[in-house]
Amino acid sequence: MKKSYLLSLIIVFALVLSACGASNSGNKVNSSNNDGSKQNGEEVKISFIHWRGEDVAVLDGIVAKFESEYPNIKVETQVFPSDQYQATAQAKLVDGSVGDVFTSFPGAQFEAIAKAGLFTDLTSEEFVTNFTPGLIEAGQKDGVQYALPYQLVYNMPIYNVKLFEQHNVEVPTDWDSFLAAMETFKQAGITPIAFPGADIGPGQMMNTMVMNNATDEDIFVKLEAGEAKLTDEWWVKTLSQFKELSDKGYLQKDAVGTKTDAANALFIQEKAAILGTGSFQLAGNKAGNPELVQGLLAPITVSEDEVVFEGIHTTTFMLAVNSKSKHPEEAKLFLEYLSRADVAAEYANGTGQNVTVEGVQYTSDELKAVSEWTTKKTRFQPRFTISNAEVQKAITSSIQAVIGGTDPQKAAQDAQAIVDQQIGN
């Protein structure tokens, strides 16, 4: 009896130990490989993590060329959906085992990673000069360049150029002409604005709607410092204008229940004149309907003489080197490679995204149309100047509330109450 007891004990512990041992030995093999290779001057593996699943094919091609130029370095790419990336990237970066090169969103995620000390200072790296100086500010903090924004996105509604021409509608230059244009489409039985109010719509369109109502580029910084309020005129007016668009039937019916895919479908099928999102969808729309001719426009919410900004830009997909990386030099070599104009052009033309690198030649009509905006007076996406994600959600929720029927004043008060709690007032 005793024997069988002993035997069962041994079996159980052997099982437990072998389970633990398996993972340990696995790790050991990996690390000895890495160390060994470095000593021999052979292969170094660096990990690259990002959230652009749609760019994988193009980036894989770029990585292959990088590896042939630097045969000692192998790049292992891991891609996560953007939601998941926001949620888990930081935790992965902490021990330095993944994300030697990683990407960060501007705003809340950038601030959090900077606070955790996970960025390597890139200020003095030569390749930083390959980027347009005005477009990499989102990766700076206290005068230090921590990350290099790679993509240039215009967070402005997309419009169907052919529909505008067919109905003799000019790109509106003030609020009255914008409303008149919307009315023309409504009368013609076309949805004026396809608005994905259930998900990305409020966060995208709030930028152009607020840019001239509050011309202070630090308005949301001041909001979080308690120096400005959502109940002030600039936000209540913005909310009222959203409500006006909804009440007059310029957004599709039940806009707050519409998700991105459904809104995109309306625009791609040319049932809607405007898509209330941003330039990041140009390439996808074109793939869905090659006949589509697209341009960007911003709803101007003021009279023509009060216009300060013509549009909104965001620099995102910010490339960075993990401060916990065991191979920082190799990681920087990869960044240097990505920042070359010809490589950036390959990325841009392959993915349909504009980039912040100087001297890039664009080939597609969409990218050319967008690159025109570099000379216009655009402002960095106000939403990304909000560092607290709950404050951001309170603001976008107030837009959903007014489109759902809430009075703008009331929606602003509700949102401000949440902001007050978040900033500890």
Binding site for another protein (CB under 8 A): 1, 5, 8-9, 11-12, 15-16, 86-88, 90-91, 93-94, 108, 112-113, 115-118, 197-199, 252-259, 262, 265-266, 388-390, 393, 397-398, 400-401, 404, 406, 411, 417-418, 421
Least distance (Å) between residue 166 CB and another protein: 23
What's the min distance (Å) between Cβ of 270 and another protein? 15
State in angstroms the smallest separation of the CB of 150 from another protein: 23
* Residue 318 CB, nearest approach to another protein (Å): 17
Rounded to a whole number of angstroms, the minimum distance from the CB of residue 311 to another protein is: 26
Residue 167 makes CB contacts below 8 A (sequence gap 6+) with 184, 185, 188, 190, 273
Closest to another protein by CB, 205 vs 348, is 205
HEC string for 61-84: HHHHHHHHHCCCEEEEEEECCHHH
3-state secondary structure of 384: helix
What does the alpha-carbon distance between residue 108 and residue 257 come to, in Å, rounded to a whole number?
Answer: 26
Please state the closest distance from residue 134 (CB atom) to another protein, in A. 29
- Give the nearer residue to another protein in terms of CB position, either 86 or 97: 86
The bridge status of strand 378-380 relative to strand 158-160 is unpaired
Identify the helix (H) or strand (E) that includes residue 356.
none
In the complex with another protein, the residue whose CB is nearer, 26 or 117, is 117
Contacts of 218 (CB under 8 A, 6+ apart): 385
Nearer to another protein, 5 or 290 (CB): 5
Considering just the CA atoms, what is the radius of gyration of the chain in Å?
25
At closest approach, how far in Å is the CB of 69 from another protein?
34
Task: List the beta bridge partners of residue 328.
Answer: none
Cβ proximity to another protein, 11 vs 188, nearer residue? 11
Q: Please report the DSSP string for 186-204 in residue order.
A: HHTT-EEEE--TTTTHHHH
* Residue number, 126 or 261, with CB nearest to another protein: 261
- Least Å distance, CB 62 to another protein, is 29
CB nearer to another protein: pick between 191 and 381: 191
Q: How far is the CB of 12 from another protein (least distance, A)?
A: 4
Residue with smaller CB distance to another protein, 57 or 91: 91
The strand order across the sheet containing 158-160 reads 191-194, 272-275, 158-160, 294-296
Of the candidates 37, 48, 36, which has an alpha carbon nearest to the alpha carbon of residue 332?
A: 48
Which of residues 374 and 387 has its CB atom nearest to another protein in the complex?
Answer: 387
DSSP conformation letters of 276-324? SS-GGGHHHHHHH-TT--EEE-----S-GGG---SEEEEEEEEEEEBTT
Distance CA 276, CA 238 (A): 15
Structure tokens at 41: 């001057």
Coil vs helix vs strand at 140: strand
Single-letter residue type at 394: A
Q: What is the DSSP letter of 214?
A: S
Q: In the complex with another protein, which residue's Cβ is closer, 199 or 336?
A: 199
Closest approach of Cβ 190 to another protein, in Å? 14
Nearer Cβ to another protein, position 113 or 318? 113
CA distance 369 to 44: 41
**3-state SS, residue 402:** helix
Give dist(CA 32, CA 38) in Å, integer.
10
Decide if 156 contacts 312 (C-beta within 8 A).
yes
CB of 89 to another protein, least distance (A): 10
Angle at 303 between CA 405 and CA 296, to 5 degrees: 75
